[in-house]
Chain A
Amino acid sequence: MAHILAVNDLHVTFPTDDGLVRAVDGVSLSLNEGQTLAIVGESGSGKTVTGLSIMGLHKRGATQISGSILIKDGDREIDIVSSSEEEIRMLRGGTVAMIFQDPMSSLHPYYRIGNQLAEAFLVHNPGKKKQAKARAIEMLDLVGISEPAVRADEYPHQFSGGMRQRVMIAMALMNSPRVLIADEPTTALDVTVQAQILILLKSLQKEFHMGILLITHDLGVVAQVADDVSVMYGGKIVETGTADGVFYQPKAPYTLGLLKSVPRISTHGSDRLKAIAGQPPSLINLPTGCAFAPRCEYSSHAPTDACATLRPQLLGKSPSHLSRCHVDESTRDSIFVKELKQVRP
């Protein structure tokens, strides 16, 4: 399978009054047709900035960006980092589309739903008004909105949150994109609606053969839909592998911490939630060594001073499951399996 999206060594930094914010610090990832790759991480780990950069929606002028973001557009391959604003604009909403976290505020309150959808089509197919209107109704129908022709004439405030997210998905799919970036698509929704939206995304992925880049902090969502997972911490990917691999045999201490902190309905009602101690690092002054070292319980297993002074590389015994940690991988495997058994008996 061919890559439709390949990000190589992406760095995104914003200068602020307090110093340089390294929001994305050397991220590489690739996405195939029909594949779902989840990027998981806490708030401020750089996952949303990664998504916005792929859309070319990072603030030009206010940000410094380096590395490459290659997107297959037909036979061509376009690098978002080095392309002109106009070239990127033609990709946006066409080959690459994005849906956002808050469907309540992501639709323009003053325009009819149908017109907002049609605009997405018209931007890429100028002048085809009738087709745009027909396509809008077709897409509304496809995402499960009943009476799409009637609903197309309504305004966003007449839709519920779940329905608005369906509209956002319909809008993103207007031009049959190759890549769909979904930035926390279910975070603002009720749990039952979350499941509906995820099922919808999955079925649409099959129909459109899209690659989906799912940005989320919700491990439950990841488990439901992702094929592969990249875990981000402090602007870096700290672990990447298949969803099963990352869930059942986490390699990075941070991933283990995330898995342990998922709330469970346990048989022992008095169990406390196992949160990761400490705070995520400021992206302005990252520690010189491993960014996770100040919060890590396992640094005693690493060679002396390594965690505090050296940045760990993304390595692994298997090339499909990589992680950043100074502790020997076999040592980690044996410790982590025991730890996971305790929370998942």
Chain B
Amino acid sequence: MNRRVVVTGVGVLAPGGIGTGSFWDLLSEGRTATRRISFFDPTPFRSQVAAEIDFDPEAHGLSPQEIRRMDRAAQLAVVAAREAVEDSDIALDELGPHRVGVTVGSAVGATMGLDQEYRVVSNGGESWLVDHRYAVGHLFGHLVPSSFAKEVAWAIGAEGPTTVISTGCTSGLDSVGYACGLIGEGSADVVIAGATDAPISPITVACFDAIKATTNSNDDPQHASRPFDGRRNGFVLGEGAAMFVLEEYGHARRRGATVYAEIAGYATRCNAFHMTGLRPDGREMAEAIRVALDAARLNPEDIDYINAHGSGTKQNDRHETAAFKRSLGRHAYRTPVSSIKSMIGHSLGAIGSLEIAASVLAARYDVVPPTANLTTPDPECDLDYVPQVARECPVENVLTVGSGFGGFQTAMVLTSGGRSGA
């Protein structure tokens, strides 16, 4: 990768508020957006908590036809992409659609749409030979999540390389990493990249219930997501989308764009261990961090903030803490680490991009968002997790990481000043 890539536009739809502004308000104030599931009656399920968005697609400019055709995850991606393009003030028409690509991350695709339509064609699960006559015309778009990338490309008028990246819960980092590759090698000058997921449906809740990955703190939804806390008992399912305008550095500079940050390093590794389990030593995530730092030409001491995966499962937070120590050494103890999942839950494939958004905003405002609900220390999680209250401090270089089912471990380094010239 030789050409440099910078973030020049941000669009966010997250629980607790629509738009980048309300997203940052929520994070910097340390408020939580987790609540009892309202999309369906969660009573039959073990976990009844989620972080939902109050989202009216019509109010955000989608036509009735688009709303019908698109799964909620696609709707979120399109609205976030439009916000990012507007934020960057870029004239895509002048650049030409051939030089603009689209990369959308998603872990679970059109889960809500598929769950809903399945019930119709199977008559509530009664028939294995489902009745095709009840299938809606847009069902194919739900079958193939590549439709999300198509919708974003149509919405912004892109005709360059376009794809969906689906590496489970690291999709939101890997889609941005993939897009950096496209710009780096010269296949595109601008990529509208990010991720979306809207998984809050009965099938998703049931599948995480089955392995007790999600919390069962149903009595206290607001405090149910507790990364790094001694009383953590699983993650809180969330939804959301974050999309970025990624731009070749020289291009951004020539047009006088406002640059949030440079994507200075990216690496991904697999643990080749277990589809859902993690080895406690954090070896592969540590390797991804080391390689990403090398790519960014930074030392561990240069990292000012770690935006953690911090899902709030017992094994994840331990695994990740070990990975930070392994890769950053003593500096791991001196660096603020926080998990925004404590406030907006875990939106699977989308969360990596939401965390990139939080990272570039932390660098813009020199504020580290807190880990909400962190009140009970866990001896195995002994780093500085910025409990409950945001912290003002200089933030120039941010490390953000993700870890997911399938064994994916990803690290990204973002840098906002100094040598990036950003």
Query: Do A and B actually bind?
Result: no
